[in-house]
Amino acid sequence: MKGIILYTSKYGATKRYAEWIATETGYDCIETKKAKIDEVKQYDTIILGGGIYASGIAGLSFLKKNIAQLQRKKVIIFCDGASPYDEKAFQQIIAYNLKDSLSGLPCFYCRGGWDMDAMSLVDRNLCKMLQKAVAKKKPEDCEVWEKALLEAGDQKHDWTDKSYLAPILEALR
């Protein structure tokens, strides 16, 4: 079985996971923006990874646009974000992103990283505004992601871990 990993990585965590999967599987690995559907459809297995930004999975538009051409393929999605895993939040991400022709595709979550210094000016300012808004809430009223946002602060964090790959690799078997 030939496989390919497509990834969209803004700050490096998704790329790291994609490369780790490529090492484990021997699959090819390229950035989603460089992917051409005529090449991708030659593979038996397609894994698409992207960071979560404003509840959307980066790079998912490639699948939405081309899923009809990948009907007989094994398609797996993984996403990553700065928050620790939370089942309720993850189900909301799936409901928001995997609907219509993408409904039912397997999707997995990996924890990413946090680096305010590496963020674009827009992202950094949005995160700071969000941190200020969340800081006004009572701690017991905060969602898991809100607590993580406050804990991350301005410090650099790397929560990437190969152990997050286990369910993805299992789904490939």
Superfamily designation of domain 3-114+157-172: Flavodoxin domain (3.40.50.360)
Q: Give domain limits for the chain.
A: 3-114+157-172
**Which residue numbers in the chain have pLDDT < 50?**
none
Quick: pLDDT tens for 109-140. 999 988 888 888 888 888 888 888 988 999 88
Residues 6+ apart with CB under 8 A from 1: 44, 45, 74
What pLDDT is recorded for position 79?
97
